[in-house]
Structure 1
Amino acid sequence: MDRALELALRGPVHGPNPRVGCVLLAPDGTRLGEGFHAGAGTPHAEAAAVAAAWSSGVDLRGSTAVVSLEPCAHTGRTGPCTRVLVEAGVGRVLHAVDDPNPVATGGAAQLRAAGLEVVGGVRRLEGEALLRTWLHALRSGRPFVTLKVATSLDGRVAAADGSSRWITSAEARADAHRRRAEVDAIVVGTGTALADDPALTARTTGGDLAAHQPLRVVVGMRDLPAAARLRGPGGELVQARTHDAGEVLAALGAREVRHVLVEGGPTLAAAFLGAGLVDEVHAYVAPVLLGAGPVAVGDLGVTTIGEALRLRTVSVQTVGPDVLLVAVPQRPAASTPDASDEPHGRPDATDLTVPPTGTGPMEES
């Protein structure tokens, strides 16, 4: 199973389908074939492993299939993995995680009905850790949400004059671009889109577009200019004309988006946090002090320390001279911020008492 999980990691992090690995074993433990799922439309891990074994002339009758996810019982762009295993003569199947997808679940029952021995829950915790964003999306009915902020040591996303390039280092920005290439969608508000004119692309360390480009989602009612960089090269532009964070996630979930990266300004961050829709926070913190300027998160309705939204630290790592703190909220915020005026993007300059600011130092120029 450890090898199956290792193989699963070769599949893409993004996309609607899970990362799955499969190892086929002879009764004496000899490895007969292995495979992984390379993304939507490609053979599933079980089919890839069977094909690899057959290409070497291996007889799979009586073999054991060790799979990181319960074999699917669904016919989509590819046939059901249960049929592949049964027709190959596999006699025993071990899997780590039960498939929660209502369309594909039931594989274990089908295999047992066909006379195969099936054992589930092998290395379940490791399997669930590998599939955490995909499993969350399937189990909760909405995408997994990562909120990214990039601030000075005193929590500012820009100076008082609105300048923000660059608070964090080139290393931190490169790390953020790598993480962009692993998600299905990046979300900002119209305020950010209009004031900063971001491209919201995922780029390599050399500055080129990464192979995978997430959807670029702009939340709010206002239109974008025809010449906006968001209309240029990169992922598909999606305009979510709503002020409701839940509606945004519902629309993206309907598109089989599994992982969303929220990169908007303070008001957008507060809207998702206040609605209890943030699953993980990535906070890049630079050893810089500004003393004034906009903060990373807008009003959460917290009036006393007892109402604070507390988070549990998952990891802390240095990225160049900066620090990346990864944490998960422990409970929803006490109340949802006021949604009366463009709650999911930053306000226009006319709404501000200080000059408009960007989404933070991660925004590309």
Structure 2
Amino acid sequence: MSVPTRTATRYTVRTFEPDDRETFLSMYDTVFGHDRSSGWFRWKFRENPYVDHVPVLVASADGEPVGFRSFFAQEMRVGGLVRTAFQPCDTMVHPDHRGRGLFDRMNERAVERYADGEPSFFFNFPNENSKPGNLAHGWREVGTVPAYYRPQNPLSALEGQGSTGLTARDADSRSADGGPATAVREAFETAIATSHRAGDRLLVGSDSEIAVERYETPPADVLAAIYHRSVPEMIHTNRSAAFYRWRFDNPAHTYAAYVARRDGDPIAALVVSTVGDHVRIVDTLPRTIESEDAALEQLLASALDDHADRSYVEAFGETVPTPLRFRFYPDTRFPLSALVQPTARTLLARDLEDGLALESSSISSWRFSRLDLDTT
């Protein structure tokens, strides 16, 4: 009697092909729990103005895609230079094929593919699962960029943590129309929002020369003009009008902008995006925020007032002038570190033979907002 032999799975790593898109999107939902459309894929990879191909590598098992290593192309300013960089993103391996070294194999192929020519370097903020693999393939840790949170509604925030102390009867009463718990809750929420607004107004100086305008769609040309008024020396994404038009065309998010003008001239801007029960500060301009901190504070107060009903406001990197003054707390320090899982990101960089030596740079050499991240 013959014993059947088990055929070993043959894994290969190759470049992306058009037929891989549907598998990519299906696996994205499986791995990350988010439904992404073909329009989102087209925007992020095919219509990206800084690359002439789909920068995705595919791990296949006997010819079937089981893993993807993707890159988000960006144009970066490094001092007086403008260089293309790739930010690794959306890396995934199907659960049935993990532990087979596919992440390492895709990383190796990526370094081989892009070692000559563009991009000039990689940079990213890997999670704890992918960080060791990046370090093993030449990435170097640069430093940590904190995320900031401003609690707007402590009641909702605590509910999200499951620590309100409300009994089941309280929860039922709260959900009943006109119930006493609902009335008490609404009174607390109104008092909190009123307190925030009053506090923000006290923090912001009155400047009658500054007019604040709100845009439902961020005005790309205006934002680019403000950016070019004061370009920082630190490493950051190059913000042209074309960049803004493409970046804010992301179909997974919607954005609104606030612009400050003095004598009719735009001098500062702030861009926000609403996500579920909270709002994100996506970008502030100029990127040398200290050069127009008074105008930015007025824009921040306007945006916070418009979103006072949100549970919290999130900011990343260097976006909010004097964060603690406006009650933005870093998630790496008490009190938030005791309540939430820190999401501060550790920056890793890898040079690709362009002589920039970014692997040995310090975190103070970089300047980030959420707009520099692939996920916003």
Q: Name the TM-score class by shorter chain.
A: under 0.3
Please state which structure has a larger fraction of its residues in helix. Answer: 2
Please state which structure has a larger fraction of its residues in strand. Answer: 2
- The two structures have a TM-score, normalised by structure 1, of 0.24
Structure ranking higher on relative contact order (CA contacts 8 Å, 6+ apart): 2
- The two structures have a TM-score, normalised by structure 2, of 0.23
